[in-house]
């Protein structure tokens, strides 16, 4: 079922873009950039799209050309791209220079090494990669994403699974993309071991008349190998923590175990230097998490909460702007210039017009 709020937002976005173009012509972007010049911006990305991945999941995958254009806009606006370490230090000391911005990338998709990192290197921009190490160590595809792609590609409305595992065997009626059945299947496949995941993907591919070998072997659906962390460092990308299994435990001991395992693999390819920055998987965080991270000697943690960062910001609740293929250039530029940050101070009626 379509979310009415999502529909309303889509209807407002063309109007929003026209308003933003007018605002830029009138100098509002320059004014917002000046007013927020001491705020630290943090950008968030995921993978670079191969083939049609940006159509399948525009939030997870961005075209290389779009990513390149984003970096060109950052350069055009004379932003100071700094490392996450520098940003955290400047926020704590209250010594931020003007127009500071940090680039972060989540998960560790293979395309980060192949496309994003070399492009960042050409621009001379440092970046931070938050990697979940399970698939990087096992060399297995991210089953939930492969499954989602298969269901997106399918032409059938029913799926029958048998002799895989009692938790997944059964008949499923397939509705629209990302409906309750799709979400349920993704949750079930994530809970299986790699062998059963492969069997489930193979049977789904056979059911839906898709080529399973191509999909499961395709690098599009794989993360970098842990040894690639060294190569990324040579390209200016610093690898940090995102939990081992890409989920946020609800108990302190569980979080400690996830971070210890995550750090163990990362540290091996950072010449023994322990990673100290963290990103909440899927942005999930609760009130107690900052306290837990402090006990675990973390230096910072980034969220998926939108906004900029100022002196006094809790280092374990850093705001980010999560960029995606579905965000237009004018919206991206408005975000890094601080237009939406300034809009928070405006009357609610104006904010509604801006679509936020």
Residue 35 CA to residue 341 CA, distance in Å, equals 10
Residue 151 CA to residue 178 CA, distance in Å, equals 9
Query: What are the CA-CA distances from residue 38 to residues 230, 308, 311, 336, 340 (Å)?
Result: 33, 10, 9, 12, 15
Which pLDDT value is given to residue 213?
Answer: 66
Q: Are strands 41-45 and 100-107 parallel, antiparallel or unpaired?
A: parallel
Tell me how long the chain is: 356
pLDDT exceeds 80 at position 346? no
Nearest alpha carbon to residue 190 among 156, 225, 140: 140
| Maximum average pLDDT range among 159-163, 172-176, 212-216 | 159-163
**Mean pLDDT along residues 101-119:** 97
Which pLDDT value is given to residue 355?
Answer: 54
Contact 290, 280 (CB under 8 A): no
Q: Scanning the structure block, which residue is given the tokens 């995921």? A: 46
Query: What are the CA-CA distances from residue 20 to residues 37, 87, 331, 333 (Å)?
Result: 19, 28, 7, 9
Residue-averaged pLDDT of the chain: 90
Which pLDDT value is given to residue 13?
Answer: 79
Query: What pTM was estimated for this model as a whole?
Result: 0.91
pLDDT exceeds 70 at position 94? yes
Q: What is the DSSP string of 39-70?
A: SBEEEEE-EEP-TTHHHH-TTTEE-HHHHHHH
**Mean pLDDT along residues 211-232:** 85
Which pLDDT value is given to residue 183?
Answer: 85
Residue 223 Rama label (left phi>0; alpha psi -120 to 50; beta)? beta
Which pLDDT value is given to residue 230?
Answer: 96
């Amino acid at each position: 079922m379509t979310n009415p709020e999502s529909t309303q937002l889509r209807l407002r976005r063309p109007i929003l873009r026209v308003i933003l173009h007018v605002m830029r012509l009138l100098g509002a972007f320059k004014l917002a950039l000046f007013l927020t010049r001491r705020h630290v911006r943090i950008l968030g990305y995921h993978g670079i799209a191969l083939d049609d991945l940006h159509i399948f999941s525009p939030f997870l995958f961005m075209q290389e050309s779009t990513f390149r254009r984003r970096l060109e806009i950052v350069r055009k606006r004379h932003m100071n791209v700094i490392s996450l370490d520098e940003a955290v230090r400047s926020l704590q000391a209250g010594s931020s220079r003007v127009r500071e911005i940090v680039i972060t990338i989540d998960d560790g998709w293979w395309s980060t090494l192949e496309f994003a990192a070399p492009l960042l290197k050409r621009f001379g921009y440092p970046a931070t990669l938050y990697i979940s190490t399970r698939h990087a160590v096992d060399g297995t595809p991210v089953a939930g994403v492969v499954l989602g792609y298969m269901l997106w590609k399918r032409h059938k409305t029913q799926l029958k699974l048998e002799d895989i595992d009692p938790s997944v065997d059964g008949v499923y009626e397939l509705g629209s993309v990302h409906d309750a059945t799709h979400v349920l299947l993704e949750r079930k496949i994530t809970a299986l071991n790699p062998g059963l995941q492969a069997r489930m993907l193979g049977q789904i591919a056979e059911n839906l008349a898709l080529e399973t070998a191509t999909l499961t072997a395709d690098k599009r659906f794989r993360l970098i190998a842990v040894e690639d962390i060294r190569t990324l460092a040579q390209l200016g990308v610093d690898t940090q923590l995102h939990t081992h299994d890409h989920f946020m435990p609800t108990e302190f001991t569980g979080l400690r175990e996830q971070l210890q395992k995550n750090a163990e693999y990362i540290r091996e390819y950072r010449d023994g230097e322990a990673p100290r920055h963290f990103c909440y998987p899927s942005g999930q965080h609760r009130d107690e998490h900052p306290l837990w991270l402090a006990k675990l000697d973390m230096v910072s943690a980034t969220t998926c909460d939108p906004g900029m960062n100022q002196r006094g910001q809790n280092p374990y609740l850093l705001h980010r702007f999560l960029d995606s293929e579905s965000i237009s250039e004018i919206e991206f530029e408005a975000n890094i210039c601080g237009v939406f940050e300034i809009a928070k101070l405006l009357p609610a009626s104006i904010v509604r017009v801006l679509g936020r």
